[in-house]
Structure 1
Amino acid sequence: MNRLLQTDPWGYRGLFLALALLLLFLRLLPLGNTAGALPGPDLMLCLTLAWMMRRPDFLPVWMLVVVFLAEDLILMRPPGLWTALVLVATEFLRARTALTRELNFLVEWLLASGLMLAMLLVYRTVFVVTLLPQPPFGFAAVQVAWSALAYPVVVGLSRLVFDLRKPATGEIDDQGRRL
């Protein structure tokens, strides 16, 4: 089963969609919604960045658009803004697949955290320019900090539970294609 999942990208794509639905469902549950409570991490973003650093071929652009646009619509965010930012970040990582394959985990963690912070700043800049109301900066900064701290946990669980790892340099799949 595990070997089949590793050779079939559709198995991981289905798994990613199932995890996205589960995370969205958990986010919609009315748990801990008291005034002044600290925000939790954006686990969907952590999962996306972690999987993009390991196996970008498992996350096609169309799937990311569907997942994050649905999340925008369900969570009543401006439709497409967060989706566009996630796509820019993931395509930035996809274009640097060879580089991210060689990074040690600390540098990878810093890169993911920097991307999260950059996305927050661009998101809030668009809100300022368009004069949209937005939550206080501290609230958003705490969410990015929690997301950055949750990133290693998401990477560890992806590795241990789903055996999602970076391919070694020169590794090939069953059809003889380079990974």
Structure 2
Amino acid sequence: MAEVTPGRIHLMRVGFAALAFVIIFFHLLPLNTQVRNWAPPNLIICLAMAWSLRRPDYVPVLLLIPVLLMADLLFQRPPGLLTLLVVLGCEFLRSRSQPQHETPFVAEWLSVALVITVITLLNRLTLSVFAIPRTPLSLSGIEMFATIAAYPLVVLVSQSLLGVRKLSAAEAEILEARK
């Protein structure tokens, strides 16, 4: 029950933003200046979806938007496009999660994989419609599959090291009563 205190919730919100900026920082470091034939997973998307499914109170939309928009700007992507798609994906997943029912992890992973696939396809389609230069299809596919494959690791780290566990029915009732 101690995990639903306002102090803990605000601490985890700051922790989410800090983790996202650490991921951005290490992604921008010029460790290898040669062109790569592969794309790393988008860990910010994994983190946003894992935390949205497990503890939606830790990642409200008003926190997701500036963090994802900053990532768009720093990664020199079209500002707001991937932000919009990820926020819509997280909200879709959040609406389908039920704190009082335990969902098997495989079903959760499949739903996240489906959402990541739709996000990737809609992103490419939108970039094509507006004739915006985009990465090759192979790199987008590699990034999508790497992101889907990294999701269980992000969930494991979030759950074991950071304590981001699913809400129990009692905790969900306490949060609903505060709204």
State the TM-score, normalized to the length of structure 1.
0.90
Alignment length, in residue pairs? 175
**Which residue is equivalent to 1:84?**
84
Q: Is the 8 A contact 1:101 1:166 kept in 2?
A: no
1:109 aligns with 2:104: no
Please list every run of 5 or more consecutive structure 2 residues that lacks an aligned counterpart in the other structure: none
After superposing the two structures, state which structure 1 stretch, 86-95 or 122-131, moved more.
86-95
Q: Is the 8 A contact 1:5 1:11 kept in 2?
A: no
**Which residue is equivalent to 2:146?**
146
Q: Is the 8 A contact 1:56 1:97 kept in 2?
A: no
Equivalent position SS for 1:172 = helix
CA RMSD across the alignment: 2.1
In the TM superposition, what is the alpha-carbon distance from 1:5 to its structure 2 partner? Answer: 5.8
In the TM superposition, what is the alpha-carbon distance from 1:177 to its structure 2 partner? Answer: 4.3
1:58-106, Cα deviation, whole Å (9 max, x unpaired): 1111111100111111111111101110111011122223179532000
Q: Is the 8 A contact 2:37 2:139 kept in 1?
A: no
**Which residue is equivalent to 1:9?**
9
Tell me, in whole angstroms, the C-alpha distance in 2 between the residues paired with 1:98 and 1:66.
26
Residue type of the alignment partner of 2:75 = L
Tell me, in whole angstroms, the C-alpha distance in 2 between the residues paired with 1:100 and 1:70.
34
How do residues 13-162 of structure 1 correspond to structure 2 at under 5 angstroms?
13-98=13-98, 102-162=102-162
After superposing the two structures, state which structure 1 stretch, 155-164 or 93-102, moved more.
93-102
Residue type of the alignment partner of 1:24 = I
1:122-165, Cα deviation, whole Å (9 max, x unpaired): 00000111111111101000011111111000000001101111
Equivalent position SS for 2:98 = helix
Please list every run of 5 or more consecutive structure 1 residues that lacks an aligned counterpart in the other structure: none
Q: Percent identity, aligned pairs only?
A: 34
Q: Is the 8 A contact 2:54 2:164 kept in 1?
A: yes
Q: Is the 8 A contact 1:73 1:79 kept in 2?
A: yes
Equivalent position SS for 2:167 = coil
Tell me, in whole angstroms, the C-alpha distance in 2 between the residues paired with 1:162 and 1:32.
30
In the TM superposition, what is the alpha-carbon distance from 1:6 to its structure 2 partner? Answer: 5.5
